[in-house]
Each structure stands twice: as C-alpha cells, then as structure tokens.
Amino acid sequence: MLTKYNPVVIICLRKFTICLGLVFLAFSGFSQEFLFKRNRQKQSISFKCIKNLMIIPVYVNGKGPFDFVLDTGVGPMIITDPSIIDSLNFSKLRKIRVSGLGIDTVEAYVSQSLDVKVGSTSIERIPTAILKEDLFNLSGHLGLKIYGLLGFSFFNSFIVDIRYSENRLIIYDHDAKIKYRGKKIPIEIDNQKPYILATVDVPGSKAVEARFLMDTGASHALSLEMLNGTEFPQPEKKIKANLGMSLSGQIKGHVGRVGKFTIGGYAFKDVVAGFPDFKSIADKIDLSKRNGNLGADLLRKFNIQFNYQEGFIYVKPNGLSKAPFEHDMVGMVIYLDQKEYKRVLIGEIDENSPAEKAGLCPDDEIIAVNFKSVDAYSLNELTEMFKSKADRNVIFEIFRGNQVYFKVVRLEKRI
C-alpha cells in the first residue's frame, strides 16, 4: 500500500503489515480493547496535524508520552523507533525475520505484553509489532520524534469522532449516547482496516464505483492503483514522481488529477491522485480487495465519526472542504537528519522539476529559505510554502561540499 506523496515521502508501513502474516497469526484470539477508567464514557483529545497526519500522545508501560500517528491503515500497533525498545527493556521479546518487498529479510519483534494508555483510556497486552530499526525515517519526514502508529485496537474500541477542523477528536464508549452529524456511509472492516465505496472519474472513460482503503495515516488525497485487474487509466497530463517508500526503496509512478471524486454524495473536482507503477507493485501488494487508497488530504475535508463495530461512518464537510487540491510545486523531498533531527536535507528530486532546473541536488543541506534561517520554519510550514502559489520565487541557501550556494526556485503548477 502507498502512503504519502511528495514532498513528504512518508512510510509505506501498510506494505510492511501485509508482509507480517505470521504476526497476525500470532495475534489471533486477542480481542483486547481500550477501556475508560471508572464510569467515564467520553473524552476529548487534542492532536497535532502535521502534513495531514494526526499525532497523539501515547504512554507505553507507564512511560511517555510518545508521539504516535493515529492510523486507520494499520492493524496491530506498530513501534517504528527502535529507541523505545531499549527504554522499555524489550530484550526478551521474541524476534522474527520478515520478508520485505524486494529485500531479503527485515528483523522485527512481536509483543503481546505491552500496556498502553491514551488519555483516560487504557489497554492491556495490546498486539504490537516492533521494527528493529527505523527504516523509513518517519520522524525526519514529519519533523517531530515519532515512535509508532496506533490503529485498529483504538478505532475498534470506541466511536471515534475526528474533528479535523478543530485538531481534536472525541472518543465515546459504545454504550454512550451519540449525536451523529452529517451523512451516514457504510464501511467494511476487512483485516482490521476500513474500506469504503466511492465514485471516481476514469480518464478517457465514464465514472466507476471503486473500493478504497480509508487511510488516515497517508498524507496524499488519493492513490489509484488498479481497475479491472490492470493498472488504473492515467490522465493525459501527468508528471513522473516518487510516490513513497517501501521496504524495497522508492515507489515510482505518476501524479495527475481526476476530474471528479464522489463519496457519500459529496463531489470533489480536480483531485490530485497518484498512479503507482502497476507492474512493480502488483506482485507485492494484494490489490484484489481495493482499487486504491483514500488518504488524509481528502479525508480532512470532513469531520468524521467512525463506528467500526457497526460498520458505518458519518461525514460532515468542514471549513477545509472547498480548498483546492494542490500538489508540490518544487518537486523535491525534504527531511531532517536521523541523528539530531535538526539539519534539513534534500532527498529525492523529481525529474524535470523546478528544483532540478534550479540546480538543487539530493543531499544538499538547506540552511535558509527566503533569507530566513531554516530553523525559523517547521517542515509543515515549508511543505505548505512549496505548494502555495504558482510563479512565486523561493530562494534557498544551501550547503554543499563545504560551500554555500544560493538557488532560486520558481514554483510551478505542474499538473
């Protein structure tokens, strides 16, 4: 499965979880849920929204808080930062070696003994997969120390009311009285993940109804992967791009726009969509259950109430619903170094992009933007700047080979 598109190449952990078949088997029979303390039935929890992802504080075995991504796209909780292993003394955990996507094996740990607390709720012995090392530099790409992802166990325990417009969520016990808002849409929970039907325009043809994974842990708006057993038709106007990371490296493909995407009767026009290279992913991902992936850049245009146990959501458009979909107008990935999370580095650069034309290179260190120290910006602010306005000039001061260079990039609406 894919996650986020440039300029933020976030992790592709859904692919990793697909490879963890034996981990799922190890967790079978465990149906623990988060429970409120005493007789409490609801709680409001604030989250940080960074590059469309929800970040919440999580306590593990009484220690923390650790920042986790709240992610409908994962089943068992996943710990991505290996430092949490040492701090929690996991030396006796069972090790497994898991086949990766295009590489030999990846070491991970399996745990059924962790106790987790979120707000006033807690769960004992939560099913958990722990990576031996942070393969994806999730912290570096978000600009914030991230320790893992929390998914099915949390969403299945409550009615989860996500209010993207307020950067908070409200969780309700299933016995609580709930006031639902907006339009009711059925979802299907399959292998601990939510799927939904939506209608999407097919370039050069008519609109079709398709099945999408709802993925709050993916920053993009839409990924279109398969139609009728082969690649999803692509629009005429498109650009080559690095779409994300898997265990085998970069996921190549194209980014374009679809004319209209309709979910629950709500229509969105000119939606930015990724089209991964079908041949390279078809033998690595089970595409039989979905046509694509519905990410947070589109989901955040609603306030959403999830009810996993009864199989539905309610959606209500919020103040973000009318904002146009924009793609990165620079054409490069930026991230923080994995040692101190202070240096801003350039990663992949799209072919024929404004960044490439301006002479920026992978591994360049950005030390200033528009004559302000890069320390004055968060990665989130830089990302928004890079897709803010076509024909705007952005001046980069970079450090390369013990020399400082100034590069002027003219933002370009490429799709």
* pLDDT value for 95: 80
Residue type present at position 106? V
Of the candidates 58, 243, 48, 61, which has an alpha carbon nearest to the alpha carbon of residue 164? Answer: 48
C-alpha span between 73 and 149 (Å, rounded) = 9
CB within 8 A of 252, min separation 6: which ones?
A: 240, 241, 242, 243, 276, 277, 280
Residues 253 and 293: beta-carbon distance below 8 Å? no
Q: pLDDT tens per residue, the chain (415 residues)? A: 333 333 333 334 333 433 444 344 445 445 579 999 888 999 999 999 999 999 999 999 889 999 999 999 988 899 988 777 766 666 777 887 654 444 445 678 888 888 999 999 999 999 998 887 777 678 888 989 999 999 999 999 999 999 999 999 999 999 999 999 999 999 999 999 999 999 999 988 999 999 999 999 999 999 999 999 899 999 999 998 877 655 445 678 999 999 999 999 999 999 999 999 887 777 666 677 899 999 999 999 999 999 999 999 999 999 999 999 999 999 999 999 878 778 999 998 988 999 999 999 999 999 999 999 999 999 999 999 999 889 999 999 999 999 999 999 999 999 9
Q: What is the pTM of this model?
A: 0.89
Count of CB atoms within 10 A of residue 284's CB? 18
Stated length of the chain = 415
* pLDDT value for 384: 92
- Domains of the chain, start order: 13-172 (2.40.70.10), 183-317 (2.40.70.10), 332-410 (2.30.42.10)
- The separation between CA 8 and the C-alpha centre of its own chain, rounded to angstroms, equals 10
Residues 213 and 206: beta-carbon distance below 8 Å? no
